[in-house]
Structure 1
Amino acid sequence: MKEILISNIEKWLLPHLERAFATNSVQALKHSHFSSFDPDITFVFGFESLREFTDVGSVGDVLQLAAQSGRLKSIIFFSSYGVYGPKKSSFKESDIVCPKNFVGTRAAILEDILVYLSNRYSLDLTILRLFNPYGPYQLSPSVIPTVLEKIATAGTVNIGDSEKVRDFFYISDLIDLLTLLIDKKPKGIDIWNVGSGIPVSISSLITKAQEVTGGECDVLFDATKLREEYDYDYAVADITKIKKELGWEPKISLEEGLALTYQWILGRSGK
């Protein structure tokens, strides 16, 4: 089993990573975790728990210290599609980086820090711009678990804008990609979009979820669900580059992924 060091990863991803890899986790990276780095172990991290810009700078300082000392050689960063400027078609890796909210800005700053460190200290860096992963252990307010939980209880889904379009992909496909990267050990700097490449509106997602589960839920417009910061109307990945360069593409359809996630939700609720 391959060993990885993980930090600042969304909590719902941890059980999936722990099932696939031998993990050493330091969830909120601090200077005290400096000794956890090993040049022979891939460092996988995201931006969970970085609530302020000062937190981002602090992480950058730790990574620079690890790189300077030779303890850090290979990084995989879970970034976000939020780094892109808004558009009405699929995002390509060559599109302008122009974030419009804090999530995207935080991810973009970390990308810049990592590219600098990679160039300065000859690190191998892979940036994965994730779209909308989902699956077991993910909870509300993420849209798929919210919809499936309401179907399980015949409840009401409160939605701010049901016509927003997203790109959903199942968690096992992300784990497969991570396994591929750790085995392949790409050199230099690589940036790839990670998604299904298939646009799905929230309204069609709800319809499909009801068809897959055989259950029902009511849908209610809720103005409080509209985000204060900019929220993308259309966020879909162009995955041409990763398919060509890595030979990776999702294997799990939305229908199968919804069914698998619903089974987990029913088991968690005791139904």
Structure 2
Amino acid sequence: MEELESCFRKKRVLITGGLGFIGSNLALRLVELGARVLLVDCLLPEYGGNPFNIRDIRRKVTVNIADVRDEASMSYLVKGQDYIFNLAGQVSHIDSMRDPYTDLEMNCRGHLSILEACRKNNREVKIVYAGTRQQYGKPDYLPVDEKHLMHPTDVNGINKMTGEWYHLLYDEIYGVRSTSLRLTNTYGPRLLMKHDRQSFIGWFIRQIIDGETITIYGDGSQLRDFTYVDDAVEAFLLAAASDEANGEVFNLGGEKPISLRELVELLVQINRGGRYELVPFPEDRQRIDIGSFYADYSKISRLLGWRPKVSLEEGLHRTFDYYRKYKKHYW
């Protein structure tokens, strides 16, 4: 805590996608650490930006409604920033297949716009990019480490991979220090809950709170790992604070993998009630399903000292408590 506070106190920090799930949780932590926080979000419908996410710190941060694809705006906003947490983008695998051009715009052109703005106006900044496990595609082996080949099964995975490579290229060629964190299934308070196209665990939680039947595609044996959002935030901060992270990529992960069926049974147990059913995969989802996936996060543990601290059960308890209290702001 003291080391992070000394690193971020009074520093200027820009968070793209700042009104979204991880961005808002990161903002809360940075305010706690004494940073001067600027949140950039274009508040596109269906994308997760939610002003309620920052209700506790609204007077302690600056919010700029802007699109990262607009290089003129970004050129102004990146000036003088010490750190940029680049969380903007389109994250729905399903939407990327239905509308690949928007995904391309958001996840490639948008990140090039930010990097070009930094190259021209602030090469001293440190950037941490939010990558995804979806870059790997269907695993060749488990757990998946950073040396695993990337063969994405959807447009989103391809474009997120490209966005990551842009950051690594600008780090190597232009000296714009950049790091990428490949996120697994991140969950917790402030997650988008309006639809099921971005987070299946969020949708499961919504269904069980509303007394609906949870639908699991396939036989429910697929393994996944989960990262509570506070743990993910800590990884972003450590990556920003460490020069050892420059030019590197890191997996995040969870304590241990759990099958989807076991996950839903845990949700039912925590909720003290609920039901689920197993159904065949719809054709559009079957084509992009990757089967079981869980990550090896030993690299970030070894180099930066990160490891998940919040157990899945504890994290789910906190998540249920949050949405029961603030449901009307998310449904």
Tell me, yes or no, whether TM beats 0.5: yes
Q: Return the match for 1:151 from 197, 205, 208.
A: 208
Instruction: List per-residue Cα deviations over 1:188-225 (Å, max 9, x = no partner).
Output: 31110011152111111001111223222233526448
Q: Name the CA distance, whole Å, in 2 between partners of 1:175 and 1:66.
A: 23
Instruction: Decide whether the 8 Å contact of 1:39 with 1:74 is kept in 2.
Output: no
134-143 or 67-76, which deviates more: 67-76
Report how far residue 170 of structure 1 moved: 0.5
Instruction: Decide whether the 8 Å contact of 1:99 with 1:105 is kept in 2.
Output: yes
Q: Name the CA distance, whole Å, in 1 between partners of 2:138 and 2:229.
A: 25
Instruction: List per-residue Cα deviations over 1:233-255 (Å, max 9, x = no partner).
Output: 02211011111111110000000
Q: Secondary structure at the match of 1:78?
A: strand
Indicate the residue corresponding to 1:57 in structure 2: 109
Indicate the residue corresponding to 1:94 in structure 2: 147
Instruction: Decide whether the 8 Å contact of 2:182 with 2:251 is kept in 1.
Output: yes
Indicate the residue corresponding to 1:82 in structure 2: 134
Q: Secondary structure at the match of 1:123?
A: coil
Amino acid at match of 1:129: R
Q: Return the match for 1:38 from 79, 84, 92.
A: 79
Instruction: Decide whether the 8 Å contact of 2:225 with 2:294 is kept in 1.
Output: yes
Instruction: Decide whether the 8 Å contact of 1:80 with 1:107 is kept in 2.
Output: yes
Q: Secondary structure at the match of 1:227?
A: helix
Report how far residue 54 of structure 1 moved: 4.0
Give the length in aligned residue pairs.
270
Matches within 5 A, 1:95-110: 95-110=148-163
Indicate the residue corresponding to 1:15 in structure 2: 24
TM-score norm. by structure 2 comes to 0.74
Q: Name the CA distance, whole Å, in 1 between partners of 2:246 and 2:201.
A: 35
Q: Name the CA distance, whole Å, in 2 between partners of 1:148 and 1:135.
A: 10
Indicate the residue corresponding to 1:4 in structure 2: 13
41-50 or 77-86, which deviates more: 41-50
Instruction: Decide whether the 8 Å contact of 1:37 with 1:72 is kept in 2.
Output: no
253-262 or 229-238, which deviates more: 229-238
Q: Name the CA distance, whole Å, in 1 between partners of 2:103 and 2:208.
A: 36
Q: Return the match for 1:124 from 177, 180, 203.
A: 177
Q: Name the CA distance, whole Å, in 2 between partners of 1:102 and 1:3.
A: 34
Instruction: List per-residue Cα deviations over 1:137-182 (Å, max 9, x = no partner).
Output: 2124222222222222322112323332211110010112223233
Indicate the residue corresponding to 2:97 in structure 1: none
Q: Secondary structure at the match of 2:206?
A: helix
Matches within 5 A, 1:175-214: 175-186=233-244, 188-196=246-254, 198-214=256-272
Q: Does 1:252 align with 2:310?
A: yes
Instruction: Decide whether the 8 Å contact of 1:164 with 1:232 is kept in 2.
Output: no
Unaligned runs of 5+ in 2: 1-8, 31-35, 42-66, 92-101
Q: CA separation of 1:132/1:112 partners in 2, compared to 1, >3 Å: closer, same or farther? A: same
Amino acid at match of 2:131: S
Unaligned runs of 5+ in 1: none
Q: Name the CA distance, whole Å, in 1 between partners of 2:109 and 2:154.
A: 18
Instruction: Decide whether the 8 Å contact of 1:53 with 1:106 is kept in 2.
Output: yes
TM-score norm. by structure 1 comes to 0.89
Instruction: Decide whether the 8 Å contact of 1:164 with 1:201 is kept in 2.
Output: yes
Amino acid at match of 1:195: G
Instruction: Decide whether the 8 Å contact of 1:122 with 1:188 is kept in 2.
Output: no
Instruction: Decide whether the 8 Å contact of 2:18 with 2:39 is kept in 1.
Output: no
Identity %: 22
Q: Does 1:24 align with 2:76?
A: no
Q: CA separation of 1:225/1:146 partners in 2, compared to 1, >3 Å: closer, same or farther? A: farther
Q: CA separation of 1:246/1:225 partners in 2, compared to 1, >3 Å: closer, same or farther? A: farther
RMSD: 2.4
